[in-house]
Structure 1
């Protein structure tokens, strides 16, 4: 890898970070539109054009804002990491399991497997084994872009980046030498005001509300976001659910997994738009419609970090994100598992009635920003510390928290490095987004 950050030494950027303007010259010379096109065109080709409606919707979401562009282009981020200077703190830690797509809105509240509402990481589609610094950097870039979108000053952004890194390092240190990460979770009694509010909402949500939104009488309602499927696709989904049910950590019985109805879900997500996403309504514990379960079957592709460590794990398809979810998130969805719909590998998980996602629009004061950044840092530290020698199957024969703790030889140094990277790369994202908007407006093919 290059030891240079674009055309400027990392040490120089660290000195200049406080005065880098939002419209600074891009750090990389590649064509971002071409990189995004290649990924999306591959989906167009793989799915035979059947998901082009969602790919078209994706272009609108990516063009809407620099924040939306960043959310939906994790492969571009990891492509760039291969060219930019690696972290000075990365080498001693080896690799750990990472979510692969860390950003603020990939956190939220839900009920854990034991029924307790908690604040947690919510997306493992891009989970892979790699450097913890990749994940910390991506989260830091998300903080910069979200705060810029909310009009916060450079000084406040600097404060929150420092908080993110310091809190992450502090909790890595706390987990080092203990097994506390295996049971650590953020509940209403251990989280900040905003995340506690989300947790309280999740605790008060009802299954009947979700079912009323999407279903009636044991079948899906007519809805523009739910597309009818062919008999052949329905048969493939039914077969997938039958194969999946025993892969869940809390396996469904054959009766509970009886498929009552199937639809293709349109318009969901940002980074995953253009992938197949099916909803399967299954019987649930009893024959009553009131306890039906809504399963989501999402097409899986190679995760964004894989090109940086192509042989880090042999896990593929839906098995990779399903197992990563169990390893990275305490009390995660017990119905998460995997299968294939026809030849399409899918992650299967419950469409939770209790999910309450974090939105950057909710981060409306310095106090809320500070607390929320701390909570997110704790989640990342716990996740990276969990998925190691303490859990069978991870492939890691060492303590991840010990390795990371040993690698962080200077918290202030890691803060300075992370600030420089996050601020500089946020400028790059803004430039890339502007290029994408220009290409879209010019009618350039985007998938």
Structure 2
């Protein structure tokens, strides 16, 4: 082999010399700081932002009014659904917390920051973790809500998760000292997970599995006794929540051509919402939306989607904090009526974090959600995509789309014993660490956290103080409803 034969000479059809050859780089890329150097950087940050300082919350007096923040979100939502939103938030302090991501983002913006950024979930409370099917048909456990995802300070997600543990433990009547142990254990699991990922290669972090069998092995000592059969019951129930199960639950009419059954106000077929448009106009718009969404999918997934045809669509009320945003369920059928595909198109606006951090790099908020989800999850839905829609009301709106039900299941937090809640909190803490390690610098974060319990104790103190604040905010909402200042309805 001659000397010239050993040179790598990539060619391109793009801009370049006369023969289309790319100019080689003048030097290799410089190495990034070593793992040890990045860990040292994290440790050095303790001098600027002490780990104990994360207990800081700040006084109530100078914070933004939470009810004003919630009302501000109402302007872009479906007016007739707003009473359902407030009715659901008023049920309990934990229900309120689920819907109050914006007020907490406002509060977190006034707390200490390390300056180390990851892709945030933005709403990492206990109810936003759960099981679902991977494209390989494995049951996995992971974060499952990314409406507020955005790059930001890793500690914000940790504090939201820890506070949800404290609030859930209070509602389960867990004594104070036991609650503190539960919260500290969840934060310690995050810290231990981050140390584990700091010692791994980047590929190993991304290859770390999330399937339920691995979860069982990892937490085999905690998942025992009465917790084991409860877990198996949850997993068995999740496996029934598939497209055929959704067909039986939501559709009826002709066996040859089923349609979504109306259950107003929670499920309203599109034909009942379009009084001024002809049926032909409605269906033309729907098919345009599906074609536009199709373009956001990988080519092989477009081929799969093309096996199905759209037959019906309905507005569906989902969640707590999401109530009032536009959420649609789409029924598609394959060759047979028993081959359904249910998709969910969920409206995506700007993340609540964008008020206090930087604006998203993505013009389409649906794309923001999809990209954040793919970065943080170990496995994502086969049909995850996005679309921008106009023509259904007076403005353009962004949506992300995924399967409505694909082995989706969640833990019944309200029925957990203290030991069960502690185990679940540890699982969520470790899972959050894996998600953050995929997009941030685990060596620097682990270096900052260290091996001691200083950070755990500080965040537990923060969580207790914020749970007190959350109870006051919930009481203020209930009082506003009682005074007729806010309309609420149960549904």
Give the distance between the partners of 1:182 and 1:29, measured in 2 at CA.
39
Report matched runs for 1:50-199 at 5 Å: 51-83=78-110, 85-87=111-113, 90-91=114-115, 94-176=116-198, 177-178=200-201, 179-184=203-208, 185-191=210-216, 192=223, 193=228, 194-195=230-231, 197-199=233-235
Pairwise CA distance, 1:279: 1.1
Gapped runs of 5+ residues in structure 1?
Answer: 1-8, 18-24, 45-50, 389-398
Give the 5 Å matches for 1:339-418: 339-342=387-390, 343-363=396-416, 365-386=417-438, 388=439, 400-409=441-450, 411-418=452-459
1:35 aligns with 2:66: no
Match of 1:20 in 2: none
The CA deviation at 1:288 is 0.9
**TM-score of the pair, normalised by structure 2:** 0.77
Q: Shift of residue 248 of structure 1?
A: 2.9
The structure-2 alpha-carbon separation of the partners of 1:32 and 1:280, relative to structure 1 and needing over 3 Å to count, comes to same
Choose the corresponding residue for 2:475, options 420, 434, 439. 434
In the alignment, the residues of structure 2 paired with residue 197 and residue 188 of structure 1 have an alpha-carbon distance, to the nearest angstrom, of 15
Task: State the partner residue of 2:3.
Answer: none
Q: CA RMSD in A?
A: 2.5
Provide closer, same or farther for how the CA distance between residues 381 and 161 of structure 1 changes in structure 2, counting only shifts above 3 A.
Answer: same
| Conserved 8 A contact 2:147-2:369 | yes
Residues paired across the two proteins, number: 404
Cα deviation, residue 316, structure 1 = 3.2
Which structure's CA Rg is the greater one? 2
Determine helix, strand or coil for the equivalent of 2:141: strand
2:453 partner SS? helix
Give the aligned partner of residue 289 of structure 2.
Answer: 240
- Flag the 1:315–1:29 CA change in 2: closer, same or farther, 3 A: closer
Instruction: Kindly report structure 1 stretches of 4+ aligned residues shifted beyond 4 Å.
Output: 9-15, 25-29, 194-197
Mapped pair 1:273 → 2:327 = no
1:278 to partner: Cα distance: 1.0
2:4 counterpart residue number: none
- Structure 2, gaps ≥5 residues long: 1-49, 217-222, 391-395
| Higher alpha-carbon deviation: 296-305 or 239-248 | 239-248
1:288 pairs with 336, 341, 362, which one? 336
* Distance in 1 between residues matched to 2:385 and 2:80, nearest whole Å: 27
